[in-house]
Structure 1
Amino acid sequence: MRVDTARELKAALSRRLSEAPPGTVVASDAPGSWSGVALGLAPVGPDQVHLAVRLLAEADVRLVLDGLDDAARAEVDVRVIGPVRPQRSPTPEELQRRTRPLVPGLSVAHPTVTAGTLGGFVRRSGTAGLLVLSNNHVLAASDAAAEGDPVLQPGPADGGTDADRVGTLTAFERFVATGNLVDAAVAALDEGVDADPAGYPGGALLADVLAAEDVDPDEAVEKVGRTTGHTRGRITAVEVDGVGVQYDADVVHTFDDQLEIEGVDGSFSDGGDSGSVIWRSSDRAPLGLLFAGSTQGGSNGGGVTFANPLATVLRVLGLTWVSGA
């Protein structure tokens, strides 16, 4: 319908809802004074719109549509959207606390490690339930751990103790001197530990992981990590070979086929953000697993961050991504 017609229908429907007897709208008992119905215009073509109806409760669909003839109903876009809340990002202080259910971005670690980041959730053939995804150096203590070891949330650096156990180290890719592709590990959640895979800033990521060959330089990306929280950056290089990562004073492992990211405003990451899942801003497609970074270089002086292509991580460890959507 034309915009003027849609506005007239919007005004008429708004009047009818406002004049409805108390309790007629099922969602009218929602907190505050909101009726549970929002009305707007949804463009569908040049100079053409539908009346956009957004509802808190499914039970109110019939009430909203009553009184509209078939022609008008064909021009109405009705969606039940549930409760609406501010889209805020967790602070680093919140991410470093003991938090249940588990969500991406939280502090997590092996008992002998300081703290890293819970990147997201996956499944693995032969292991029941959800698994936490992070780095080898976070969950498996850089090859020093053994499968079956506990995983804590928060990590020891943030006060985590045996009482904060959330899972069991299940699998990790061991390091070799050169040619590493991933720094990755997974831990199966203990019985009774709940998780929200969709709990990223802004909601769930896509279910489809971006293929490594489809990740392009200059893509805008985001992550949520234990130390710096929710940050934005851009991919500055792909297929980077020979990235030397110094895990301790005497050991350097090199990595091939990596992603390089710079922060948009300062550093994209810092120590403790290792294990964060990185997603593309344009469509929320997951694409990387953050594992290392520098404090120098980068066009804005904030250093650079390196990430394994997430598709490679899943392939190497035999994992399936869980979006929670």
Structure 2
Amino acid sequence: MDPDAARELKARILERLPTAVEARSTAGERDAPWPWVAVGLGAGRTGARVAVRLQRDADRALLPDLGRAAAEEVDVEVIGPVHALTSPTDLRRRTRPLRPGLSVAHEAVSAGTLGGFVRTPSGLAMLSNNHVLAASNSAFPGDAVRQPGPADGGGSADRVATLTAFQPMVAGVNLVDAAVALLDADVPATPGDLPGGPLLGAVPGSLDVDPDEAVEKVGRTTGHTRGRITAVEVDGVAVQYDEAVYRFDDQIEIEGRGGPFSAGGDSGSVIWRSRDRAPVALLFAGSETGGSAGTGVTFANPLATVLAVLGVEWCPDL
């Protein structure tokens, strides 16, 4: 299917979902009003396909009748619940200089991952998720960030940065789960210290990331892993955080190669394209089931969107 035709079919599915979902939602359920239906663009044998992801098999009943021809262009998969990856290598211990992949977190959070470094008007800052550096909206600019995170033994003496800015997550549609923390003046960092060297490619827009693209990341829990993008422009990703379910649109879905691409504690990792080492996405959530190998899928924000929303510039090396 032509990509534009796939986008039209995706739009048809999304347009027909709300009525069905609202009719099936039960008062008090944490799922409502869009329970567990995400729709994006995937790769088919002869072009693009529409990728539909469900968290419960029963939610198949929510999908509209598109007709036989259109249904053949839709890949429906049950991936189970999607959670923010914050639960408790060498990446977990106290490390200086700071580098991508290390355990970091707000003092009220268990542990996540230092994804990379960005330039702000005030200086060099680390990039990770809102739910890692800003405790899912509950922190304040000026709060301390520790390395390692508290779950890995980080205490008050392990302060390395100050929360500078984060994009609040809201009850409506979200695009990113992202935050930055300005490094303390006496804390050294080596932004380019990643497997294979610095990420020197230009930061592309989301349309430059295609299904079947080979990607990599380094994260606090699973270390250096490889995978492939299985869907882009995914709308309606419902992510379970400790305090609420938040919906995300225009996300990237990734499967691991030879095992899971990520696990709890990898949130905040920056994902790069294998072919040119261009940073493309910020990892923030995933499931434990689904995917071609049944080991789960990972979701990530397009990095170009993250940088634009936060008003910062990617820093590949000093």
Query: Structure 1 length normalisation: TM-score?
Result: 0.70
2:92 pairs with one of 96, 99, 102: 96
**1:119 paired to 2:124:** no
Structure 2: how far apart are the matches of 1:262 and 1:177?
Answer: 27
Q: Which residue of 1 aligns with 2:224?
A: 230
2:255 counterpart letter in structure 1: E
With CA pairs under 8 Å and 6+ residues apart, which has the higher RCO, 1 or 2?
A: 2
1:307 pairs with one of 290, 300, 308: 300
Structure 1 SS opposite 2:96: coil
Q: Which residue of 1 aligns with 2:135?
A: 141
Aligned-residue offset at 1:183: 0.2
Structure 2 SS opposite 1:259: strand
Structure 2 SS opposite 1:137: helix
Structure 2: how far apart are the matches of 1:187 and 1:298?
Answer: 34
2:203 pairs with one of 184, 203, 209: 209
Q: Which residue of 1 aligns with 2:290?
A: 297
**1:274 paired to 2:267:** yes
Kindly report which structure 2 residues correspond to 1:164-175, keeping only aligned pairs within 5 A, or say none.
164-175=158-169
Aligned-residue offset at 1:179: 1.2
2:296 counterpart letter in structure 1: G
Aligned-residue offset at 1:266: 1.1
Aligned-residue offset at 1:281: 0.3
Aligned-residue offset at 1:178: 2.3
Q: Which residue of 2 aligns with 1:323?
A: 316
Structure 2 SS opposite 1:235: strand
RMSD between superposed Cα atoms in Å: 1.1
Task: For structure 2, list consecutive stretches of 5 or more residues without a partner in the other structure.
Answer: 1-87
Structure 2: how far apart are the matches of 1:274 and 1:143?
Answer: 16
Deviation per CA, 1:214-268, whole angstroms, max 9, x where unpaired?
Answer: 11000000000000000000000000000000102x5100000000000011100
Sequence identity percentage: 72
2:201–2:276 contact (8 Å) kept in structure 1: no
Kindly report which structure 2 residues correspond to 1:54-203, keeping only aligned pairs within 5 A, or say none.
93-125=89-121, 127=122, 129-203=123-197
Structure 2: how far apart are the matches of 1:285 and 1:178?
Answer: 31
2:239 counterpart letter in structure 1: V
Structure 2: how far apart are the matches of 1:142 and 1:163?
Answer: 23
Structure 1 SS opposite 2:216: strand
Aligned-residue offset at 1:207: 4.5
1:150–1:168 contact (8 Å) kept in structure 2: yes
Q: Which residue of 1 aligns with 2:12?
A: none
Structure 2 SS opposite 1:306: strand
Structure 1: how far apart are the matches of 2:211 and 2:173?
Answer: 22
Task: For structure 1, list consecutive stretches of 5 or more residues without a partner in the other structure.
Answer: 1-91
How many corresponding residue pairs? 231
1:207–1:321 contact (8 Å) kept in structure 2: no
Aligned-residue offset at 1:210: 1.7
Aligned-residue offset at 1:175: 0.6
Structure 1: how far apart are the matches of 2:192 and 2:96?
Answer: 14
Deviation per CA, 1:119-159, whole angstroms, max 9, x where unpaired?
Answer: 0000123x1x2100000000000001000000000000000
Structure 1: how far apart are the matches of 2:214 and 2:173?
Answer: 27
Structure 2: how far apart are the matches of 1:313 and 1:207?
Answer: 17
Larger Rg: 1
Aligned-residue offset at 1:213: 1.0
Kindly report which structure 2 residues correspond to 1:33-72, keeping only aligned pairs within 5 A, or say none.
none
**1:221 paired to 2:215:** yes
Structure 1: how far apart are the matches of 2:188 and 2:254?
Answer: 32
Deviation per CA, 1:47-95, whole angstroms, max 9, x where unpaired?
Answer: xxxxxxxxxxxxxxxxxxxxxxxxxxxxxxxxxxxxxxxxxxxxx9210
Structure 1: how far apart are the matches of 2:159 and 2:173?
Answer: 33
